Amino acid sequence: MSETAHRWIEQYPELGSGPISTEPYISPEWYEREKEKIFRQVWLCVGRENEIPRAGDYKVKRLAAADTSAILIRGKDGKVRAFHNACAHRGNTVVNETGEETFGRNKAGIVTCRFHGWVYDAEGALKQVPSEQRFYNCFSKAENGLAPIHLDTWEGFLFVNLAETPDASLAEFLGDYATHFAGYPFDTLDYGFTYHTYLDCNWKVAHDAFAEAYHVDTIHAGSFPNVFSTGLQNVKLMGPHRTCAVCLTLNAKPTPVAAIANAMAGASLVSTRAESMLPPTINPDKRADFAFELSVLFPNTLIHVAEGIWFTHQFWPIAHNKTLWEGRYYVKAPQTNGQRWATEHAMTLQRNAWLEDTATMEDTQRAMQSRAKTLQHLQDDEILIRHGAVIVDRFVNA
C-alpha cells in the first residue's frame, strides 16, 4: 500500500472523514449512557493472574463506572473467581477498600465482612453467620452467598463482565485481537513499575492522548527528541479493538547517557534490537524501524508490546470529567548492577514521557467544556481516535 496522505481513511472509508463532536467528552448524560451500555456490558481487563498467585490471595478492584467493586479471589482449587464486594446482610463492602485496588490474603481462603462478621469462602458461599438462630425461617445461608461476576482469562489477563448474561464470551469479544497477540511472553517480563493518578478529564480525553503519535515531536521533544516517526504503520481494526505499529527514526542520535543505557539493557523503547519474542502478526513485514505495537483493547485499555518490553495504560472513568489513569511498564529483571541502572534509566525516561502526555489532558477538558469549539478535526494518523469515537457511539446508541 502506498503511503498516501490519506492512506488509512482510504483503507477504512466506513469511519468517515468529517470532524467528530466534543459533546461525548463533556456531557454528563452521555457518560451515564456509557456506564450503562459499555462498562456494565462488555468485558473489562482488571488485572493479571500473577497478582494473586496463591490460594487465598485476593484483589479488590473498584469499578466506579459500573457503580461497584469486584473481589477477585483464588480458591484452594487454584481457580480465580469474581464477586461483587457487597455483603448479603445489609450491603456493606465485605473487603474494606484502601484505594482503587486492594490486595490481601487469607490462608483459609475466606473473606469476612467487618460490619457483622459474615464469612464467605473463595467460591462465594456464605459459611458463617454470627447469631444465626436469631434470623427468621425465610433466611437461608445457601441463598445468600456473594453475588458472582463473570470472569475469564486471556494470556494471563483477568477480565470481568458485569452483565447478568454477557452478549459474548471473552474469546468472542476479543476475536482477532486475541490471535494478534497470542504467544507474547507477558509472564516472563515481570520486572517493572506502576503509576496512577487522578485526572480532571473525561476518560476518552485521556485515552485519545495515548492513541496517536502525531504529538510526539511537540509534547515529547524533551524526553524523546526526534526519536519516533509520526506516521503509523500496519493499522488494523478488529471489531471494537484496534492496533498499529509505531516506528523509530533510525538516524536519531540518543543522548550520551541514553546510548550507554541502551547498550546495557533492552529496557527502552528507543533502542533498536533484534526480534525473538514477537508473534508473527506483529511487525509482519519486519521493518527495521519498528519500535512497538500500540493497541487499544476496548473500552479503556491500551496494550503495547515490543521486544523485551510491554506496558499498559488504563483509563477508568470516575465521573464524566474525572478519570483514574493507571500505567504499568514491564521488562526482564536485570541481572547485574549495570543492567539495573540502565533499566531504571529507561523507566524514568518513560515516566517523564507519560507525565508529558498527562500534562495536556486537563487543559483539553477545560477548553472542551467552554464549548467555544464543538468539533475535533482529526488527521489521517489519528485513525485510532476516529475508530474509537465510532465504536463508542455505536455502543451508546445501540
Grid cell 509505531 is found at 246
Looking at 212-216, 244-248, 290-294, which range is the least confident one? 212-216
Tens-digit pLDDT profile for residues 153-183: 999 999 999 999 999 999 999 999 999 999 9
Contacts of 7 (CB under 8 A, 6+ apart): 1, 380
The model's pTM is: 0.93
d(C-alpha 302, C-alpha 241), whole Å: 10
Terminus-to-terminus CA distance in the chain, angstroms?
Answer: 34
Q: Cell triple for residue 1?
A: 500500500
Which fold would CATH assign to domain 44-174? Rieske Iron-sulfur Protein (2.102.10)
d(CA 56, CA 299): 30
Q: Give the pLDDT of residue 231.
A: 79
**Model pLDDT, residue 188:** 93
| Cβ pair 113, 128 in contact under 8 A | no
Q: Residue 53: what pLDDT?
A: 96
Cα–Cα distance, 207 to 296 (Å, whole number):
9
pLDDT at 105: 95
| Angstrom distance (rounded) from CA 211 to CA 189 | 23
Pairing of strands 101-105, 241-247: unpaired
Q: Does position 104 have pLDDT exceeding 70, yes or no?
A: yes
Cell numbers at 10, concatenated: 482510504
pLDDT > 90? residue 212: no
Phi/psi at 312 (5° precision):
-130, 155
| pLDDT (0 to 100) of residue 229 | 66
Which CATH topology does 7-22+176-396 take?
A: Naphthalene 1,2-dioxygenase Alpha Subunit; Chain A, domain 1 (3.90.380)
Q: What is the pLDDT of residues 41-51, one digit of tens each?
A: 999 999 999 99
How many residues appear in the chain?
Answer: 398
Q: How confident is the model at residue 217 (pLDDT cuts 50, 70, 90)?
A: low
At 272-322, the pLDDT tens digits run 667 789 999 999 999 888 889 999 999 999 999 999 999 999 999 999 999
Residue 4's pLDDT is: 85
User: pLDDT confidence of 1, banded at 50, 70, 90?
Assistant: very low
Using one digit for the tens of pLDDT, what is the confidence trace for 322-379?
999 999 999 999 999 999 999 999 888 888 888 888 889 999 999 999 999 999 999 9
Residue 368 neighbours by CB distance under 10 Å:
20
Element (H, E) at 243: strand 241-247
The cell 473498584 sits on which residue?
A: 62
Whether residue 190 contacts residue 302, with contact meaning beta carbons closer than 8 Å, is answered with no
Mean pLDDT for the stretch of residues 55-71: 96
Q: Would you kindly state where each structural domain of the chain is located, as residue ranges? A: 7-22+176-396, 44-174
In this prediction, residues 138-150 reach a mean pLDDT of 95
Q: Which residues pair with 303 in a beta bridge?
A: 295, 312
> How far is 186 from 259, CA to CA, in rounded Å?
26
Question: Considering only CA atoms, which of 161, 123, 160 is closest in space to residue 142?
Answer: 123
Tell me the C-alpha distance between 95 and 102, whole Å. Answer: 9
For residue 256, the model assigns a pLDDT of 83
- What mean pLDDT comes out for the span 213-234? 73
C-alpha 328: how far from its chain's center?
A: 9
